[in-house]
Amino acid sequence: MSAAEVDSTLAVSAQETTADDETTAAGNSRLDGMRAILTRALWMWDNGQVLTCAFVETPGNDIQQSKVISIAKEWERYANIKLDFESTAKNPEEAIIRISFSAPGFPTWSHIGKTALAEIRGRATMGLGQVYPHSANANPAERGVILHEFGHALGYLDEHQSPRRGDKLKLKEKEAIEFFKSVMFPSWTEEDTRRFFLNVYNQREVSNYSSVDLTSIMMYFMPAELNEQGIEIPPNYELSALDKAFAFLNYPFLGGPAPDASHTLDNALDTIGVTGKFRESITAEFNENDWRGVRAEFARWALNAKAEASKEEAVAEREAEAGFGVQTGS
């Protein structure tokens, strides 16, 4: 993603989940006792749902629209979801996902999953100000923007704010604040940088995450000077293997193959690294054609994986402290 890309989640908070969603979650016995880590999962659409999409406000030209349609639908190869750009073409204000090509303040942004339903009827739920009207062939940056924002529309959050970011990256706060103050237009305040870049999501409010995927389409680009490891993270323009695996497990193809037949349940579990009892429980729910059960068991695995990673980190820190010991002078 370019430096100018920001995802606007200001309009809808986690507390705006509908009463029907709360009732559904509470009524599913597999989810009892797990609602804390499934809060963000409630923002995801039902499996197999048809999401009507249309262009509003600044609807762009045929070139822009064609690029969005062809690239966005790549998600359909790995997620059991339908992006329908035809049904509401003549009445775009009725679409669930409403796309504008204007860029007031935030060049590219999207509401996250079902939070789009809280937007005022007819107003955009996604902005694609970095998809341009001149060339019919999308450049890599345009591909990345479209795939990233439709990832948000399906319910995915930014990878760099994962609760497990610390497994691979430790960010430099001062450098990040200065960087985004200088490169963003309008300039980001310190609060903006903390909200959109430095802060991580509360692990009790998200589900279905693993160790940070630096190649994910949901990962921001990052200059090496912004993290202590000195890792340069280039813009990602394609769906990563983990992006595809997560799409399959969150929106599984039940009762038939995925459009890309190489993407199976076993392939997704192998890619993510799910083994043992959690693999068995996810497989059992999949075989029962229960997509809610698949999501719930996947969330349990994610919580356990985070706990195991935290335990290993604590052990390593204790061993490091024991190795150095306490040094005193005479």
pLDDT digits (tens, 9 = 90+) for 171-226: 888 998 999 888 877 788 998 888 777 765 544 444 444 556 778 888 877 888 98
Six-digit token string for 262? 């190489």
| Helix or strand run (H / E) with residue 83 | strand 82-84
R_g (Cα) of the chain, nearest Å: 21
Give the Å distances, CA to CA, from 190 to 146, 151, 174.
27, 26, 9
- Within the chain, how many helices (H) and strands (E) appear? 9, 5
Whole-angstrom distance, CA of residue 67 vs CA of residue 166: 36
Averaged over 12-25, what is the pLDDT?
Answer: 30
Whole-angstrom distance, CA of residue 256 vs CA of residue 258: 7
pLDDT of residue 6: 36
| 14-310 CATH fold | Collagenase (Catalytic Domain) (3.40.390)
CB atoms within 10 A of CB 284: 13
pLDDT for 148 beyond 90: yes
Averaged over 46-73, what is the pLDDT?
Answer: 97
Six-digit token string for 181? 């103050």
**Is residue 232 very low, low, confident or very high in pLDDT (cuts 50, 70, 90)?**
confident
**Is residue 156 very low, low, confident or very high in pLDDT (cuts 50, 70, 90)?**
confident
Between 78-82, 138-142, 177-181, 322-326, the lowest mean confidence (pLDDT) is in: 322-326
pLDDT of residue 7: 39
Whole-angstrom distance, CA of residue 181 vs CA of residue 66: 34
Report which of 268, 261, 224 is spatially closest to residue 244, judged by C-alpha positions.
268
Whole-angstrom distance, CA of residue 107 vs CA of residue 131: 10
- 314 or 256, which is more confident: 256
| Centroid of chain to Cα 239 | 12
Report which of 63, 62, 243 is spatially closest to residue 144, judged by C-alpha positions.
243
pLDDT for 33 beyond 80: no
pLDDT of residue 201: 53
